[in-house]
Amino acid sequence: MTANRSSAPALAVVGATGAVGSTLLQILPTRADVWGDIRLIASQRSAGRRLAVRGEEAEVLALTEDAFDGLGPGDVVLFLTPAEVSARWAPVATARGAVVVDQSAAFRQDPEVPLVVPEVNGYAARIRPRGIVAGPDCVTAAMIAAVGALHAGFSLVELTVSSYQAAGAAGRAGSQALRRQLSLVAGTALGEAPGDVRRAVGEDTGPFAAPLALNVVPWSGDLREDGWSSHELAVRAETRRILDLASLKVSVTCVQVPVVTGHSLTVRARFEQRVDARTAREVLEAAPGVVLVDDPAAGEFPTPADAAGTDPAWVGRLRGSLDDRYALEFFVCADNLRKGAALNAAQIAELIVGELA
């Protein structure tokens, strides 16, 4: 545990050693100083490790019932863990009276668990019958502040999205697999003959269905019999929930690209009202969590390399659709570990603490 500031609410971070957990520990000192004790928890493998948080070293505890001792009403427990770990252990934390913020897929479709992006539907975090609030998937999170602001302005009726997803969305295993593959293909004359990249990378493609170095993989998640992937359906369902548009038409294609951190998406959004790029620009310029960077002639446009390590969703290439006066097209990039996970979780936790204070 870190410095005892016992009068303020405690924050426990389960999964503190993972890709999202490490990002959260970097973010915490940059956020409002609302927390008392900060407790770090991970698997038995990491027990005893020492990590820096808020400028001090803290020992990582193993995830056991005892790890929640002393936590209670007013405290918040973040789960930045695989879904099966969140599903098993979040109820243990809520049984102690703490509120859980879960960043996994475990509760995102549970009607008794609000799915929250503070810039869009922060109010929803107040009603949490199970004592749990969920954050969305990192693809949903990358676009939803921009889409939500446009929906508030023009009333969304249809959304078509393609993702260009970073390897880091698959956790440490994903970014390590891409780095390993890149080192295997680096400096070789590849891509000239069929099978070159596959031969260099070998059988072990990590969490991806094919080599990701010098390549793209045309789905993420599990493929179903009807051809849609679990990830595509999740983004569709989450978008509907967060915007409270149960029958919104949504079509998503998830594609993995050889980027370590930073998701990019192309978005086509169709509205009830006529839209033009100029008015849409004004809406996005005022939208919380969104930065419009859209002057390609001056070298101003978003890329995942520029979005990595930053908090907002960066929007560019904003155009009115050529054949439809009710539709807009744009490109958006966001850091999958920050707005896609750790930052969103921190923002929800701060909302809850503000409400309980």
Ligand X SMILES: NC(=O)c1ccc[n+]([C@@H]2O[C@H](COP(=O)([O-])OP(=O)(O)OC[C@H]3O[C@@H](n4cnc5c(N)ncnc54)[C@H](OP(=O)(O)O)[C@@H]3O)[C@@H](O)[C@H]2O)c1
Catalytic residues: 138, 263
Maximum distance among all Cα pairs of the chain, rounded to whole angstroms: 65
Contact between 74 and ligand X by CB under 6 A: the answer reads no
Give which of 97, 115, 63, 104 is closest to 81, Cα–Cα. Answer: 104
Pick from 9, 10, 46, 264: which binds ligand X (CB under 6 A)? Answer: 46
User: Which listed range, 120-128, 165-173, 207-215, 288-296, lies at the site for ligand X (CB under 6 A)?
Assistant: 165-173
Q: Indicate whether 50 belongs to the interface with ligand X (CB under 6 A).
A: no
Sign of CA dihedral 272, 278, 280, 282: negative
Residue 256, strand partner residues = 165, 217
In the complex, the smallest distance separating the C-beta of residue 52 from ligand X, rounded to whole angstroms, is 15
- Between the alpha carbon of residue 216 and those of residues 163, 197, 210, 257, 303, the distances in Å are 11, 11, 8, 5, 17
Query: d(Cα 35, Cα 22) in Å, to the nearest integer?
Result: 17
* Nearer CB in complex with ligand X: 19/38: 19
Of 3, 29, 32, 45, the residue at the interface with ligand X (CB under 6 A) is 45
Q: Assess contact for 272 and 326: CB atoms under 8 A.
A: yes
Scanning residues 315 to 334, which ones bind ligand X (CB under 6 A)? none
Which residue number, 206 or 340, has a Cβ lying nearer to ligand X?
340
**Nearest residue to ligand X, scored by beta-carbon proximity:** 18
Q: CA-CA distance, 317 to 114, in Å (whole number)?
A: 32
* Stretch of 18-26, 198-206, 285-293, 296-304 lying at the interface with ligand X (CB under 6 A): 18-26
| E strand segments, 166-231 | none
Question: d(Cα 47, Cα 70) in Å, to the nearest integer?
Answer: 19
Q: How many CB atoms lie within 10 A of CB 232?
A: 23
Give the interface segment with ligand X, choosing from 115-123, 164-172, 180-188, 217-225 (CB under 6 A): 164-172
| Closer residue to ligand X (CB): 156 or 167 | 167
Residue 304: name the closest of 268, 346, 338, 273 by CA: 338
Tell me the number of residues near ligand X by CB under 6 A: 29
- The residue within the footprint of ligand X, chosen from 148, 168, 262, 316 (CB under 6 A), is 168
Of 336, 346, 349, 352, which lies in the binding site for ligand X, with binding defined by CB under 6 A?
A: 336
- Asked if residue 133 lies in contact with residue 344, where contact means CB atoms within 8 angstroms, the answer is no
Q: Which residues contact 279 (CB under 8 A, 6 or more apart)?
A: 153
What is the gyration radius of the CA atoms in the chain, in angstroms? 21
Q: Which is nearer to ligand X, 100 or 156 (CB)?
A: 100
Nearest to ligand X of 82, 122 (CB atom): 82
Minimum gap (Å) between residue 303 Cβ and ligand X: 17
Q: Which of 185, 215, 180, 211 is nearest to 198 (CA)?
A: 211
Q: Is 103 in the site for ligand X (CB under 6 A)?
A: yes
DSSP state of 187: T
Q: Work out how close the CB of 234 gets to ligand X at its nearest, in angstroms, rounded to a whole number.
A: 10
> Least distance in Å: CB of 284 to ligand X?
23
Query: CB of residue 148 vs ligand X: minimum separation in angstroms?
Result: 18
Restricted to residues 128-157, the positions that interact with ligand X (CB under 6 A) are 137-138
d(CA 265, CA 146): 12
Bridge partners (DSSP) listed for residue 320: 328
Please state the separation of Cα 84 from the chain's center in Å. Answer: 18
Determine if 229 is a binding residue for ligand X (CB under 6 A). no
- Site for ligand X (CB under 6 A): which residue of 8, 27, 34, 83? 83
Which one of the spans 3-11, 39-47, 112-120, 240-248 is the region binding ligand X (CB under 6 A)?
A: 39-47
Structure tokens that stand for 251 in this block: 């079509």
Q: Between 84 and 355, whose beta carbon lies closer to ligand X?
A: 84
Q: Which of 78, 80, 275, 334 binds ligand X (CB under 6 A)?
A: 80
Positions that interact with ligand X (CB under 6 A): 15-21, 42-43, 45-46, 63, 80-83, 85, 103-104, 137-138, 168-169, 171-172, 336-337, 340-341
